[in-house]
Amino acid sequence: MTITKKPYKGCRDFFPELMKERSFMFDKMHEVSELFSYEPYDGPLLEEVELYLAKSGEELIGEQIYDFIDKGKRHVSIRPEMTPTVARMAAQVYRETPKPFRWYSISNFMRYEKPQRGRLREFTQLNVDIFGADEHLASFEILDYFCTLLKSYGATKDMFEVQVNDRVIVDCVFKDLLKIDKEKSLKLYKVIDKSKKVAPDALDKMISEILSDKQIVDFKDYLGLKSFDDLAKFVALKNIDAANSSLIKFVDIINESSIKEFINYDPTVVRGLDYYTGIVFECFDKHKDNRRAIAGGGAYANLLQIFNEGPLEGVGFGMGDVTLRDFLDVHNLLPKISKSQSEVLITYFDQDCEEEAFKLAQQLRANKLKVELNLGVIKFNKVTKLAINKEIPFVIQIGSREKEQGLIQVRNMETKDSQNIKATDIKEIQKYIRGDK
């Protein structure tokens, strides 16, 4: 029987080149998290299914999770998202942890999906949350973090935009203006959520099945809002009581900040039927070939309810590596990946120089130089080609003659300059390779 060499459907083999790309993405996440004082956490790969049942929408539970019965008869699932886990963890410690506390994680997840552009079965997601801070301040900080992260990859305002809304406002529009009941509200939420994905005719039909003609006029006015200013005027004009919304204070901060250029109002952003209770946002790629959401998040208040714990306000967002990579790719923001990260290649031409070569490698590594040791004797005329193929900038050559004199030759592959240095003079070798750094 021959076994397939391919990875399981919807999963990726991360060969070194792809892995370095991934590290480029993750390193910036760690860096920005530190700049913003977010602390790392992680949870288990498996959770019991009841955790997801308690929290999630039905779609995720029914179709998308990788659930199974373990050998001890527990119904478990590979994590499809981080939120239930972070809620479970926060529930354990939130009482004694000084607020606000800021957490982030970069973890792998699985969802049973049809693999397609921007969507795979296994993916990694960055999750960033701040707990126990005022909603408008927390929302600003989270979006500041998010924009700083995308800017750290080289993204500019031509490439992405963050669209913001507030579910408190939506609820006020439904209650104070449209005066519809809970059942209709739920239906209308779903319509809003789909409004950009369906044709105008289909949208009109969906709306007319829920609202009266008079209500439709108001609702369409709402859907037509294009800016925070529009919203402010609309709220005033229609006598909507938005006292419980944090959006106005949030907009005040945004308007004075450097991330203003990335943030817009969008009445259609509601984040599905998810657990959000306040400000919500989605980040969209502006590129014509990749019009899709890169990340999304918002404010929530009742995440700990399923654990019988009190309210804990939080604001957070999640961003997957598959969509992020597509975004970076389409905007040419992925770095050129060098074949090797080594600073120097050590080669030897005679068997009796092997010991010297190994010792030198150890000593240079002890001085934090990145060394690739060529294992085994190599012919002199093959060294250059090897170093060029591997893109290693310096080569050390050890031959019998040099060995007798206690010397090695260090060569700069770019300038073709070379120098004989005492094999024991590690500092001098290091200086030649690194300059005066």
Residues 284-313 that bind a second copy (CB under 8 A): 306-308
Of 139 and 165, CB closest to a second copy? 139
Of 13 and 204, CB closest to a second copy? 13
CA distance 106 to 86: 12
Cβ atoms of 413 and 388 within 8 Å: the answer is yes
CA distance 310 to 293: 32
Of 267 and 314, CB closest to a second copy? 314
Give min distance, CB of 427 to a second copy, in A.
17
User: Does 128 sit near a second copy (CB under 8 A)?
Assistant: no
Binding window for a second copy (CB under 8 A); candidates: 187-195, 218-226, 229-237, 338-346: 338-346
User: Does 5 sit near a second copy (CB under 8 A)?
Assistant: yes
Place of tokens 């109002």: 265
Cβ atoms of 370 and 342 within 8 Å: the answer is yes
Q: Up-side HSE of residue 205: CA atoms within 13 Å toward CB?
A: 5
Binding window for a second copy (CB under 8 A); candidates: 130-138, 171-179, 261-269, 420-428: 130-138
Q: How many residues bind a second copy (CB under 8 A)?
A: 91
User: Does 153 sit near a second copy (CB under 8 A)?
Assistant: no
Of 150 and 203, CB closest to a second copy? 150
With both helix axes pointing from N to C terminus, report the angle between 247-255 and 135-152 in degrees, rounded to the nearest 10: 40
Binding window for a second copy (CB under 8 A); candidates: 44-52, 160-168, 270-278, 324-332: 44-52
Cβ atoms of 51 and 88 within 8 Å: the answer is yes
Q: According to CB under 8 A, which one of 58, 158, 183, 256 is a site residue for a second copy?
A: 256
Give min distance, CB of 118 to a second copy, in A.
18
Q: According to CB under 8 A, which one of 375, 401, 406, 427 is a site residue for a second copy?
A: 375
CA distance 192 to 202: 12
User: Does 400 sit near a second copy (CB under 8 A)?
Assistant: no
**Contacts of 346 by beta carbon, 8 Å cutoff, 6+ apart:** 357, 360, 361, 364, 371, 372, 373, 374, 395, 396, 398
Cβ atoms of 345 and 321 within 8 Å: the answer is no
- DSSP states of 352-415 as a string? GGHHHHHHHHHHHHHTT--EEE--S---GGGHHHHHHHHT-SEEEEE-HHHHHHTEEEEEETTT
Q: Let me know the angle formed at the C-alpha of 291 by 254 and 137, rounded to the nearest 5 degrees.
A: 20
Give min distance, CB of 280 to a second copy, in A.
19
Please list every residue from 351 through 370 that binds a second copy, using CB under 8 A: 354-355, 358-359, 362, 365, 368-370
Both structure tokens of 405? 């004199």
Give min distance, CB of 202 to a second copy, in A.
30
User: Does 248 sit near a second copy (CB under 8 A)?
Assistant: no
Of 170 and 364, CB closest to a second copy? 364
Q: According to CB under 8 A, which one of 127, 268, 290, 342 is a site residue for a second copy?
A: 342
User: Does 140 sit near a second copy (CB under 8 A)?
Assistant: yes
CA distance 262 to 256: 13
Give min distance, CB of 143 to a second copy, in A.
12
Give min distance, CB of 60 to a second copy, in A.
13
User: Does 100 sit near a second copy (CB under 8 A)?
Assistant: yes
Question: Which positions from 56 to 95 touch a second copy by CB under 8 A, shown as an x/- string?
Answer: -------x--x-xxxxx-x-x-x---------xx-xxx--
User: Does 11 sit near a second copy (CB under 8 A)?
Assistant: yes
User: Does 156 sit near a second copy (CB under 8 A)?
Assistant: no
CA distance 14 to 225: 44
